């Protein structure tokens, strides 16, 4: 399909909550394909429609090459009290990462591209990815999960890369 331009930090659109998808049609399928193409070109493991300036609740993940998953209107239903730490980053802020602590397990609800309701339980890295991308759909950029000091350091490092 098409590789779309990625919205870069500090664009204010990255802080806006995305709207629920209501039309499960050819346009949605085309958007999902564009997101996959854009994510692979970035490169990245996950991407949301807001990353390309489209304010809709859609996530594409490809944590293992060739295993693509599309989540429409995803929400976290349950999260474990046990936590894990993992380095996170964003296609909207390439070149910088920082460790973030999140619940180790989650259960999410979402629709597939046909609009059929689904649930998925995930743990470890996959759970982290779900939470990271759903945060983005909620207008929470990943650095918002950092302490003020760490957030300032990440923004400074990103600025030094000349990509901001």
- The overall longest dimension of the chain from CA atoms, in Å, is 45
Q: Is 133 a catalytic residue?
A: yes
For residues 68 and 108, the answer to whether their CB atoms sit within 8 Å is: no
**67, 120, 133, 152: which one is catalytic?**
133
- 3-class SS shares of the chain: helix, strand, coil, % to 5: 35, 35, 30
Cα Rg of the chain, angstroms? 15
Residues forming the active site: 133
């Amino acid at each position: 399909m098409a590789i779309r331009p990625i919205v870069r930090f500090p664009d204010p659109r990255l802080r806006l909550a995305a709207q629920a998808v209501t039309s499960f049609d050819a346009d949605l399928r085309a958007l999902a394909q564009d997101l996959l193409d854009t994510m692979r070109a970035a490169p990245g493991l996950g991407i949301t429609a807001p990353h390309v300036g489209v304010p809709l609740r859609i996530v594409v993940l490809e944590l293992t090459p060739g295993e693509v998953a599309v989540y429409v209107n995803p929400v976290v239903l349950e999260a474990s009290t046990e936590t894990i730490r993992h380095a996170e980053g964003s296609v909207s802020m390439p070149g910088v990462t920082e460790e973030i602590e999140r619940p180790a397990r989650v259960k999410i609800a979402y629709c597939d591209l046909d609009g059929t309701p689904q649930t998925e339980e995930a743990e470890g890295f996959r759970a982290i990815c779900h939470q990271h991308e759903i945060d983005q759909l909620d207008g929470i950029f990943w650095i918002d999960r950092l302490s003020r000091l760490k957030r300032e350091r990440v923004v400074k490092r990103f600025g030094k890369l000349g990509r901001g």
